[in-house]
Structure 1
Amino acid sequence: MHGYVRSGNSQPAWLFPFIVVVVLILSVLPLARLAMVGIAAFANGGVIDVLSEPSLWQATYYTIVTAVLGTIVSLLIGCLFAFLLTLTDLPGKGPLSFFFVLPMMIPPQVTALAWVQMSGPSSPLLKALSLAPPLGSPQPLYSVGGIALLYGVQHAPLVYLALRAGLMTLPRDGVEAARLSGASSLRVFRDIILPLSLPGVIAGAAISFVSCTGNFGIPAILGIPASIYTLPTLIFTKFSAFTSRTFGDVAVLSGIIAMISVAGLMVQDRALRGWDYRVIGLSGASAAFQLGPWRFLAMPLLWAILFFILAAPFFALVAGALVPAYGVPLTHKTMSLHAFQEILFRQAVTRTAFVNSLWLAGATALGLLVVTVLAAYVLTRRRDLASRIVASLIEIPYSLPGIVLAVAFILVFAAPVPVLNISLYGTIWIILIAYFSSFFAVSLKPLITAFHQLDPALEEAARLSGAGFVRRLFDIIVPLIAPAVGASVILVFLIACNELTISALLWSAGTQTLGVAIYNLDDSGSSDLASALSVLVVLMVVVMMLLLELLTKRLPKGVVPWRN
């Protein structure tokens, strides 16, 4: 036992170095390689060539404009739902929260495709309802405004979650004191609730802005047909037209995206300074407002918004999958399950995409679980500077746009791995490792929460009785955190199964994922097949979220995003 366990500590001596090595491989190495290529391009004068291209500045302009407008839309929708579902006595909060968070779990290219099927002169659903604009009318979503609108719909749940976390800690005694003093509900909201909620609003805006900046699926579906390129889609087109200077150009473009994202986070940090409200007293749902007759207005309003951002696009997606071609109206004569039969039984590409996505998602969820259980254990037991640095390094890949992470892994594995002389580029393994890096933080969060709520006395008693680390891990620790383990696996599986931004650059023939397959089908004009595959993906997302819902009662607070 001597040398295996640190004196006075339940951690094995090898555990923290092992986590450090994993983090160095998954976080530090790819980002350092990206930085090195960018510096090399700068030294060779390649940066000047990139910066002199008009397409770069146009893409940067569109990236910033669509991200800012999308953030505004997400703030309007997300704040409305957060305030009403957290602070009022509105009935049906559970279903409303569940369905409002759903768009965040749906792949962005599916969201874009659904809205395209719902609007414009060729919409099968609008034609069936005799509401379609005249033929020849432009598709309104193929524009900066269309991209920004869908950014807002996709990322409004991020604002909702960030703001709700702060609203749940509001001081109920302060609100009650104001009411006893005769303050109206509007006065209480304006003078107490709103100032205390501003940090959550700012945090949600920053998260939404960074997510908009790195979004690939929506501008790829809506922007490329209208020649509106953002930085992620510009990187994608540069890889499509590969030349000897592509790596240097893409490294510079990735650096610009990273700088825009960091600038957004810096604005958040700057805005939050001076808003450090420390409240004392009880907090929670008792601070809710009684809506009274206003509930008869609020309830229909929220359900109407959900209908237009979720139900109507899904019905349009189903309609697009049931007709033989885009633009054909949905009638009993044109309705057919041919697209679903083609997707499930005849198209080898889509079957391969299903197998690849399910395998990648399962391998990522289970593989990361092994590492994150150990990482959560060591990070909650250690309270030193080194553990805080490691925790920060784990968060960085998830906070960066996926397109930047994909470029970094291409640069790392473009050449064969030293010593082993094995090339991972062009194989499914490079996607898997990139997923490990990107979703490390997602897998870790529920386990960290569970470990913080775990009493270490049981494990210490077992250690003093002579039980080794592995025995304690399987007999005591894992059974106690089992619900969080299940939540971690489901969350990672759900997100990884629908990922597009990373795999869009890393896939090759035979390694395409569901996200890539949907984009390629739509890009090739097979909108009915793309719609059918998207419907199946949405149904899979709903099933996985319902499974997570079943675990809710046994999970630590904060693990299931849409739950209070």
Structure 2
Amino acid sequence: MWRRIGGEGLTLAGLSLAAAGLFLLPLGRLFWTGLAEGGAPIGEALSSDQVRRALWHSLDSAGTSAFCALLLGTTLALVLGLTNIRAKGLFVFLLLLPMMIPPHVTAISWIQALGQSSPVLSLVGLAPPVGAAHPLYSRGGVILLLTIQHTPLVFLVVLAALRGLPREMSEAARIAGGRPFRLLTRIMLPLLAPTLVAGVALAFVSALGNFGIPALLGIPGRFITLPVLIWRRLAGFGPSVLTDVAVLAMGLALVAVLAVILQTWLQRKVRAGMTGPPQPALRIDLGRTRPLWEAGLAIFVAATLVMPLTSLVGTALVATYGIPLSLSTMTFDNFAEVLFRQSAPIRAFGNSTLIAGLAALTLAALSALVAYFAGRRGSTGRRLGGVVTALADVSYAIPGLVISVAFILIYIRPIPGTGISLYNTLTLIWLAYLTAYFSVALKPVSAAAGQLDPSLDDAARVSGAGFARRIARIHLPLLAPAAASGAILVFLTAYNEITVSALLWSRGNETIGTTIFNYEDGGYTTLAAAMSTITVMATVLLMALLDRLGRHLPPGVVPWRL
């Protein structure tokens, strides 16, 4: 009995406690606080013109940008997934790169690319005149950058779906003389309808909780969204600030959950039955127009990636923002400032590396255990694994700022009976990362675990191997590549984020995202550009590492490897 409790039983108990602590406790406390006093704070929030306007701005920007991202991402996926475009792997890598660049870095790079002191526009004489309002400080600017930020999400979802479609109907239509446009509208898009619904829902939820872009563009443009209003309210303190913030965060969470529920309902309505196993996608020959399509893709990459990043680097290489970049004005002093002289950015790089790395390793281990139990047949572990997976998916759909508020509500006071306070510590940010990114780590591990033969575990059990031995000698080695892939994805996401840590950081516990945001918000544009450039370089190197790892992983684990 004690041996069993010390093995599977103890592990199941530990996973149950982890699920309760990471998902049920913080979100439950959030809703309890929001519903305090008989729901009176909710009525006060709904009667506020500022709250209603911020909610509408959030729905407007998220909905419009999600629809635009759907059109753009689907088009890119169809072109790269169904045609004989050359250099597909490179194009997919470059198109997915904006998704890994932090939203606030995206905003800073575009502000500098289209501003009066733009290094790129100044070279060609197209910089806006002095005194002109910045074109991105508006509703349109927020929607444009949210579209660019989340187009890769839709692109990735649709591209993955194209790999899994059977080809029989498409081949039959082509043999019958169906042209590509008719093939697309009558066969491909109806089959992809559930995927398109998932893509637009993912883009909507991601845009709904985005903080960096609406904060840097919306505040000067007087286009305040709900996440920005939450940040402002919490920064303003006051006697009822926690209750007010909890109500706003609860509203944001409810919108996100309703979006996921609507997505599930729509997917069931538009689902089309398919027969036949997944096969390689079609390869439509573009003929003489192939160079034009490739040139169009290159122009799109240059406009959405190369131009803003070039402006970002150009701003980082001048002493003062606004000075034209030339050999005589170029300096590396800003990089030296953030890397060697100032303490805050150095701490931020160390803090982000530490907590993102710990979160990645912790989630890799937890994901392997959850995937193991979820794959068991007819057991308590299978039910627990399913519950944890569902809770992780729901938490991923909830904006990171809401998760931050939930953890503040729990840990703003010392832990009862211990006197230990986690508020304003890196530990609290680490716990919030575990909640926010559990689903990111779990997806590839669950996919890999689903391909394992259950007879391996049965044979080891019959041979007398205990739980720990089966996990260490059979399952972990087989799941290690997928767990490593999920861990790197978690690290890439957490290393640069600002949405979760925006409300949890404090002096001495800065992260990369909060430090860059504070530099830009405080007017230190060149330092923000230098630190952003270093962050982008680190992101590209980490993605290259994941790409190299992908050579030894099953197809589809690394999304841009075709």
Structure 2 length normalisation: TM-score? 0.96
1:206 matches 2:204: no
Measure, in 2, the Cα distance between the counterparts of 1:462 and 1:206. 43
Higher deviation after alignment, 116-125 or 103-112? 116-125
Measure, in 1, the Cα distance between the counterparts of 2:526 and 2:15. 46
Other-structure match for 1:189: 184
Other-structure match for 2:30: 34
Measure, in 1, the Cα distance between the counterparts of 2:419 and 2:252. 32
In structure 1, what residue type is equivalent to 2:477?
P
Other-structure match for 2:545: 547
Shift in Å, 1:276: 1.8
Shift in Å, 1:126: 2.0
Q: Kindly report the root-mean-square deviation, in angstroms, between the aligned alpha carbons of the 2 structures.
A: 1.8
Other-structure match for 1:246: 241
1:267 matches 2:262: yes
CA gap of 1:42–1:502, structure 2 versus 1, over 3 A, is farther
Other-structure match for 1:287: 282
1:123 matches 2:121: no
Higher deviation after alignment, 502-511 or 117-126? 117-126
Query: Which SS does the other structure have where 2:43 is aligned?
Result: helix
1:299 matches 2:297: no
How many residues were matched structurally? 559
Contact kept in structure 2, 1:97 and 1:562, CA below 8 Å: yes
1:316 matches 2:311: yes
1:402 matches 2:384: no
Structure 2: unaligned runs, 5 residues or longer: none
Shift in Å, 1:460: 3.0
Task: Give the percent of matched residue pairs that are identical in Structure 1 and Structure 2.
Answer: 42
Shift in Å, 1:19: 1.2
Other-structure match for 2:501: 503
Deviations 1:294-351 (A, max 9, x none): 2122111111111111111110000010111222211122111010010101010100
Measure, in 2, the Cα distance between the counterparts of 1:63 and 1:454. 43
Structure 1: unaligned runs, 5 residues or longer: none
Other-structure match for 1:453: 451
CA gap of 1:343–1:65, structure 2 versus 1, over 3 A, is same
CA gap of 1:232–1:382, structure 2 versus 1, over 3 A, is farther
Measure, in 2, the Cα distance between the counterparts of 1:374 and 1:171. 33
Other-structure match for 2:95: 100
Other-structure match for 1:53: 48
Shift in Å, 1:504: 0.4
Measure, in 2, the Cα distance between the counterparts of 1:541 and 1:92. 21
In structure 2, what residue type is equivalent to 1:548?
L
Query: Which SS does the other structure have where 2:271 is aligned?
Result: coil
In structure 2, what residue type is equivalent to 1:316?
S
Query: Which SS does the other structure have where 1:425 is aligned?
Result: coil
In structure 2, what residue type is equivalent to 1:37?
T
Contact kept in structure 2, 1:41 and 1:248, CA below 8 Å: no
Contact kept in structure 2, 1:66 and 1:144, CA below 8 Å: yes
Measure, in 1, the Cα distance between the counterparts of 2:477 and 2:165. 34
Measure, in 2, the Cα distance between the counterparts of 1:281 and 1:295. 31
Other-structure match for 1:19: 15
In structure 2, what residue type is equivalent to 1:141?
L
Deviations 1:39-69 (A, max 9, x none): 10544x3333322222111111211111122
Deviations 1:343-383 (A, max 9, x none): 10101010010010000111111122222221221112245
Deviations 1:124-164 (A, max 9, x none): 33224332121111100000000000000000011112222
Other-structure match for 1:221: 216
Contact kept in structure 1, 2:519 and 2:528, CA below 8 Å: yes
Query: Which SS does the other structure have where 1:343 is aligned?
Result: helix
Shift in Å, 1:263: 3.0
Query: Which SS does the other structure have where 1:76 is aligned?
Result: helix
CA gap of 1:280–1:425, structure 2 versus 1, over 3 A, is same
In structure 1, what residue type is equivalent to 2:169?
G
In structure 2, what residue type is equivalent to 1:280?
T
Query: Which SS does the other structure have where 2:308 is aligned?
Result: helix
Contact kept in structure 2, 1:41 and 1:47, CA below 8 Å: no
Shift in Å, 1:11: 7.4
Deviations 1:183-204 (A, max 9, x none): 2222222211121112211110
Structure 1 length normalisation: TM-score? 0.96
In structure 1, what residue type is equivalent to 2:319?
P
Query: Which SS does the other structure have where 2:35 is aligned?
Result: helix
CA gap of 1:52–1:274, structure 2 versus 1, over 3 A, is closer
Other-structure match for 1:562: 560
Contact kept in structure 2, 1:170 and 1:287, CA below 8 Å: no
Other-structure match for 1:526: 524
Query: Which SS does the other structure have where 2:503 is aligned?
Result: helix
CA gap of 1:371–1:266, structure 2 versus 1, over 3 A, is closer
Shift in Å, 1:33: 0.1
Other-structure match for 1:393: 391
1:86 matches 2:81: yes
Contact kept in structure 1, 2:260 and 2:397, CA below 8 Å: no
Measure, in 2, the Cα distance between the counterparts of 1:294 and 1:200. 28
Shift in Å, 1:385: 4.4
Other-structure match for 1:72: 67
Measure, in 2, the Cα distance between the counterparts of 1:260 and 1:350. 35
